[in-house]
């Protein structure tokens, strides 16, 4: 599916804007029934994409720490990591 | 008026006079701190002096706790205080409510100058500001990892969008190195592709505490950041150069979290609303077409091909009829002409002539028609033919000349 591959690149907001535009076009009711059905299918793809974009974000809170060589490293962030950071 | 006061009464009286004076009730005094002592109780005792004089001061715990800095000997300050008399030893003193560092005026001037200059350079241009993404996949924050600010941000983010992704760049947010650290944080994020938006945050504090956010280099780093920067410094009323240079200024760190992350449930209902509309629209499309089809199937437009066939066939009938008529007419007229011809032929036939009373005389010997009296001699046989038979006669007398 070419359309899906194309949509895969869209960010949440792009996909949302596209979805709204598809819905508006379909709402306008112009074009042939085939075109309307194509729009509907596009809309369903976009809707799924939007929802999946919301779930894609990984629940994380991380803090950058210096490894002493000037390179930053990501560490899980919690109270403990701060106190240990302070001790160093 | 010759009443004699006790010492206590005098001190009490003077105390009341001082308290009643409107100027001394809230007086601002500038001076240098000396003999500073802080007691375990939290009260502060010191003198405020200038070149010629000095005055005793006390700051009680309730007020002292709110000073935005720790007073030190030699520090030039402006205090707001009320005058009072310490009854026990009759000492005049100032009870201090507020203490500001002197030289703040200079800071304000410096702030306004820097602001004006950067404004002129276009660092605050609205046109240059980047849009804050609707849904940042990952948020960078440059702030102190200690204290309430980061906790507030995390708290608000988890409430709005439970699966948020936050990366903290720890930085000092006050003091000598703060401006440079903050700048490095913004630069570091710009050197990576890790976050969609950067929050620069700090809680409330005195103007000196927030001073690192009035840094020209930090403002320019924020200006040049290709990642949108949200500035969340201090309280509602605090404005810093960093605020003006950022792509979005929010009053507090909590507001930054609100500004950066949408409410997930609202997004979901937004998607659902669009999806519902999508389905409804398609059903509507189909319904419209079904109606149109029904209308069409009853309409003349759709019937027209049949009607055309009908009308054509009718025309064909008409033509056929006309053709037949015309043919018949021609046949009739031909037939009539033939009849007439036959009739005229008939009229010309000798038999027909005979039937009208004429007769034909012939010479029975030769069979020739007698068309002249000279053909006949008296006594000669003559045969007269009538329509229905012959008469055999004999010529008796010949008479020439026309009779009829």
pLDDT of A81: 46
Considering B71-75, B199-203, B288-292, B377-381, the range whose residues carry the highest mean pLDDT is: B199-203
Distance from CA of A71 to the nearest CA of B (A): 10
pLDDT of B258: 94
The average confidence (pLDDT) of chain B is: 86
User: Which phi and psi (to 5°) does residue A68 adopt?
Assistant: 90, -20
Q: What is the pLDDT confidence band of residue B332, given thresholds at 50, 70 and 90? A: confident
pLDDT of A83: 44
pLDDT of B131: 93
Q: Which residues of B are less than 8 Å from A12 in CB distance?
A: 134-135, 267
pLDDT of B188: 96
Which of A12, A23, A50 is nearest residue B281 as measured by Cβ atoms? A23
Distance from CA of A82 to the nearest CA of B (A): 7
Which of A33, A44, A77 is nearest residue B289 as measured by Cβ atoms? A33
Across the interface, do A63 and B168 touch by the CB < 8 Å criterion?
A: yes
* Residue A7 reports pLDDT greater than 60: yes
ipTM for the predicted complex comes to 0.83
- Structure tokens of B26? 């809230």
Q: What is the pLDDT confidence band of residue B299, given thresholds at 50, 70 and 90? A: low
Q: Is the dihedral of CA A3, A8, A10, A13 positive or negative?
A: positive
* Residue A79 reports pLDDT greater than 60: no
pLDDT of A85: 40
pLDDT of B128: 93
Query: Helix (H, G, I), strand (E, B), or coil: what is residue B16?
Result: helix
State the best of B281, B287, B292, B296 to mutate against chain A, taking most chain A CBs within 10 Å. B281
Across the interface, do B137 and A29 touch by the CB < 8 Å criterion?
A: no
* Residue B78 reports pLDDT greater than 70: yes
Q: Which residues of B are less than 8 Å from A11 in CB distance?
A: 133, 135
Helix, strand, coil content of chain B in percent (nearest 5): 45, 20, 30
Please tell me whether the overall predicted TM-score, pTM, comes out greater than 0.80 for this model.
no
CA angle B215, B218, B221 (to 5 degrees): 150
* Residue B2 reports pLDDT greater than 80: no
pLDDT of B256: 94
Residue B47's CB: how many other CB atoms inside 10 A? 18
* Residue B63 reports pLDDT greater than 70: yes
Across the interface, do B163 and A16 touch by the CB < 8 Å criterion?
A: no
Distance from CA of B306 to the nearest CA of A (A): 26
Q: For B36-45, what is the mean pLDDT?
A: 92
pLDDT of B303: 64
CA angle B103, B111, B29 (to 5 degrees): 25
**pLDDT > 90: percent of chain A:** 23
- Structure tokens of B116? 């004006």
pLDDT of B377: 86
* Residue B355 reports pLDDT greater than 90: no
Distance from CA of A30 to the nearest CA of B (A): 9
* Residue B195 reports pLDDT greater than 90: yes
Which residues touch B280 (CB under 8 Å, ≥6 apart)? none
What is the strand order of the sheet B229-233 is part of?
A: A72-76, A60-66, B165-170, B139-143, B197-202, B229-233, B248-250
**pLDDT > 90: percent of chain B:** 47
pLDDT of A87: 34
Q: What is the pLDDT confidence band of residue B344, given thresholds at 50, 70 and 90? A: low
Across the interface, do A29 and B161 touch by the CB < 8 Å criterion?
A: no
Please name the helix (run of DSSP H) or strand (run of DSSP E) that holds residue B35, with its range, or none. Answer: strand B27-38
Q: What is the pLDDT confidence band of residue B246, given thresholds at 50, 70 and 90? A: very high
Which of B145, B165, B274 is nearest residue A23 as measured by Cβ atoms? B274
Q: For A54-76, what is the mean pLDDT?
A: 88
Q: Which residues of B are less than 8 Å from A47 in CB distance?
A: 271, 274-275, 278
Q: For B161-186, what is the mean pLDDT?
A: 94
pLDDT of B45: 94
Angle, helices A12-28 vs A33-56, to 10°: value is 160
Those residues of chain A whose CB sits closer than 8 Å to some CB in chain B are: 11-13, 16, 19-20, 22-23, 26-27, 29, 33, 36-37, 39-40, 43-44, 47, 50-51, 53-65, 72, 74, 77, 82, 85-86
pLDDT of B304: 65
Across the interface, do A57 and B161 touch by the CB < 8 Å criterion?
A: yes
pLDDT of B316: 78
Q: If you write DSSP's letter for every residue of A4-61 in order, what string do you get?
A: HHHHHT--HHHHHHHHHHHHHHHHHT-S-HHHHHHHHHHHHHHHHHHHHHHHHS--EE
pLDDT of B349: 65
Q: For A16-22, what is the mean pLDDT?
A: 91
Among B119, B285, B86, B330, CA closest to B216: B119
Q: For B181-209, what is the mean pLDDT?
A: 92
Q: Is the pLDDT higher at A37 or at B10?
A: B10
pLDDT of B130: 95
Q: What is the pLDDT confidence band of residue B343, given thresholds at 50, 70 and 90? A: low
The average confidence (pLDDT) of chain A is: 81
Distances (CA, A) of A4 to A1, A17, B78: 5, 16, 68
């Amino acid at each position: 599916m070419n359309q899906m591959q194309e949509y895969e690149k869209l960010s949440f907001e792009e996909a949302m804007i596209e979805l709204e535009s598809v819905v508006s076009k379909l709402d306008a009711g112009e074009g042939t029934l085939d075109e309307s059905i194509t729009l509907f299918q596009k809309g369903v793809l976009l809707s799924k994409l939007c929802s999946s974009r919301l779930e894609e974000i990984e629940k994380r809170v991380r803090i950058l720490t210096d490894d002493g060589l000037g390179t930053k490293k990501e560490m899980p962030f919690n109270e403990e990591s701060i106190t240990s950071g302070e001790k160093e | 008026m010759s009443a004699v006061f006790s010492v206590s009464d005098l001190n009490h009286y003077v105390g009341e006079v001082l308290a009643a004076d409107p100027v001394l009730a809230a007086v601002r005094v500038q001076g240098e701190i000396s003999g500073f002592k802080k007691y375990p109780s939290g009260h502060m005792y010191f003198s405020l002096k200038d070149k010629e004089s000095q005055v005793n001061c006390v700051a009680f715990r309730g007020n002292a706790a709110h000073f935005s800095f720790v007073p030190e000997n030699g520090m030039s300050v402006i205090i707001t205080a009320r005058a009072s008399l310490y009854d026990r030893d009759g000492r005049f003193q100032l009870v201090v409510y507020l203490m500001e560092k002197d030289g703040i005026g200079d800071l304000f001037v410096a702030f306004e100058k820097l602001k004006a200059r950067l404004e002129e350079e276009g660092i605050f241009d609205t046109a240059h500001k980047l849009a804050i993404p609707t849904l940042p996949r990952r948020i960078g924050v440059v702030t102190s990892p200690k204290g309430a600010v980061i906790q507030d941000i995390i708290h608000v983010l988890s409430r709005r969008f439970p699966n948020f992704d936050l990366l903290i760049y720890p930085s000092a947010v006050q003091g000598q190195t703060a401006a440079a650290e903050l700048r490095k944080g913004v630069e570091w994020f710009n050197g990576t592709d890790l976050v969609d938006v950067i929050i620069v945050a700090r809680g409330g504090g005195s103007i000196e505490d927030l001073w690192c956010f009035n840094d020209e280099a930090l403002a320019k780093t924020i200006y040049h950041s290709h990642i949108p920067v949200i500035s969340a410094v201090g309280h509602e009323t605090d404005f810093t150069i960093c605020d003006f240079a950022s792509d979005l200024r929010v009053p507090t760190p909590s507001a930054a979290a609100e500004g950066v992350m949408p409410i997930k449930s609202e997004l979901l209902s937004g998607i659902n609303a669009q999806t519902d509309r999508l389905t409804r629209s398609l059903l509507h499309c189909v319904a419209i077409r079904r109606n149109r089809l029904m209308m069409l199937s009853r309409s003349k437009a759709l019937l027209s091909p049949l009607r055309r066939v009908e009308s054509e066939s009718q025309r064909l009938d008409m033509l056929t009829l006309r053709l037949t008529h015309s043919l018949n007419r021609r046949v009739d007229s031909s037939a009539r002409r033939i009849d007439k011809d036959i009739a005229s032929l008939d009229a010309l036939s000798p038999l027909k002539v005979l039937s009208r009373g004429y007769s034909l005389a012939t010479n029975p010997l030769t069979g020739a028609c007698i068309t002249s009296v000279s053909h006949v001699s008296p006594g000669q046989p003559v045969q007269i033919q009538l329509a229905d038979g012959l008469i055999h006669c004999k010529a008796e007398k010949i008479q020439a000349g026309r009779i009829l």
